[in-house]
Chain A
Amino acid sequence: MSIVWCRGNTIFYMKDFIKKHAKILTGALCGLLNGLFGSGGGVVAVPMLRFFGLEARKSHATSVAVIFFLSIISVIAYSLRGSLEWQTALSYIPWGIAGAVLGSLLLKKVPNSLLRRIFGVVVLASSVRILFFQ
């Protein structure tokens, strides 16, 4: 069943509307999550990039570029609000860079299905802890 609405004599289908404005909707949603949580844009970006016809590895890699530019905007906005802890972030960056080099090289070689499932379990367990034990 499709969602439909009318204006005058014209019928609009939600599916067509989403298809026509998919890039704008993707950007707006990625930006909203990135601005609100400081993370999470990839949740929208990866499946939408697949919807645009990219294969899985390319959609994951391209999402990194999308989120990078949105994160620059978010950093500026957070900085204006005074919500940035530079010192804490700096302590994680050297380890993160080592991980990024490994992860970027692995993306081309490793089938990431198992990694995604492990990641899913960790994320789900964390959500339970946040929802019920904090």
Chain B
Amino acid sequence: MSIIWTAVAGFLTGVTASMGLGGGFVLIIYLTVFAGTAQVAAGGINLLFFLPIALISMFIHTKNKLIEWKLVAPICIAGIAGVAGGVLLLSIVDEDVLQKLFAGLLVFVGLREIFHKKVVEKEP
């Protein structure tokens, strides 16, 4: 039974992550809420999981001319400092507090997704 849930969680995370819809939340929620994994460990698993998924998605998105590469570099350079800050906070913040903070982020994301304004897009 467990392999079926692993497949469902992995597949759904792959679909949503590749579409930039916050797939990481799917896997972390599954791991922490249903598989009993600690918050930090779940975050690490999601990071490892995301690398090959993102590579494949980036290949297809680049072919479809959907990635604006000139914006990626400046954001990522500043992001290195952000990652360092985030990982530093991991050593300071208690696991329970971290999980509550994550839940707070989920409330924000959930409400934003449910009540988002529908945008009519032209065909790319």
- B91-107 interface bits toward A, Cβ cutoff 8 Å, 1 = contact, 0 = none: 10100001111111111
| Interface status of A116 (Cβ within 8 A of chain B) | yes
Chain B residues lying within 8 Å of A37, measured Cβ to Cβ, are 24, 28, 39, 43, 86, 98, 101-102, 105
**Cβ of A102 and Cβ of B100 under 8 Å apart?**
no
* Cα A58 to Cα B70 with chains together (Å): 12
Contacting A92 at CB < 8 Å: which of B10, B82, B102? B10
* Cα A132 to Cα B112 with chains together (Å): 21
Interface positions, chain B 44-67, Cβ under 8 Å from A, are 44-58, 60-61, 64, 66-67
**Cβ of B114 and Cβ of A124 under 8 Å apart?**
yes
B85 smallest CB distance to A (angstroms): 5
**Cβ of A84 and Cβ of B48 under 8 Å apart?**
yes
| Interface status of A94 (Cβ within 8 A of chain B) | yes
**Cβ of A61 and Cβ of B66 under 8 Å apart?**
yes
Interface positions, chain A 49-91, Cβ under 8 Å from B, are 49, 52, 54-75, 77-78, 81, 83-86, 88-91
A17 smallest CB distance to B (angstroms): 15
Chain B residues lying within 8 Å of A106, measured Cβ to Cβ, are 15, 19
B interface secondary structure, majority:
helix
| Interface status of A122 (Cβ within 8 A of chain B) | yes
**Cβ of B103 and Cβ of A63 under 8 Å apart?**
no
**Cβ of A72 and Cβ of B51 under 8 Å apart?**
yes
Chain B residues lying within 8 Å of A19, measured Cβ to Cβ, are none
Known: A105-B60, A119-B22, A127-B103. A38 touches B46 (CB 8 A): yes
Chain A residues lying within 8 Å of B22, measured Cβ to Cβ, are 39-40, 42-43, 119, 123
Chain A residues lying within 8 Å of B6, measured Cβ to Cβ, are 91-92, 95
* Cα A61 to Cα B63 with chains together (Å): 11
**Cβ of A28 and Cβ of B113 under 8 Å apart?**
no
**Cβ of B54 and Cβ of A64 under 8 Å apart?**
yes
A75 smallest CB distance to B (angstroms): 5
**Cβ of B25 and Cβ of A40 under 8 Å apart?**
yes
Chain A residues lying within 8 Å of B93, measured Cβ to Cβ, are 36
Chain B residues lying within 8 Å of A30, measured Cβ to Cβ, are 75, 79, 82
* Chain B interfacial positions (CB closer than 8 Å to A): 6-29, 32-33, 37, 39-58, 60-61, 64, 66-69, 71-72, 74-91, 93, 98-116, 118-119, 121-122, 124
Q: Closest 6 interchain pairs by CB?
A: A38-B43, A31-B82, A35-B86, A99-B14, A27-B78, A39-B24
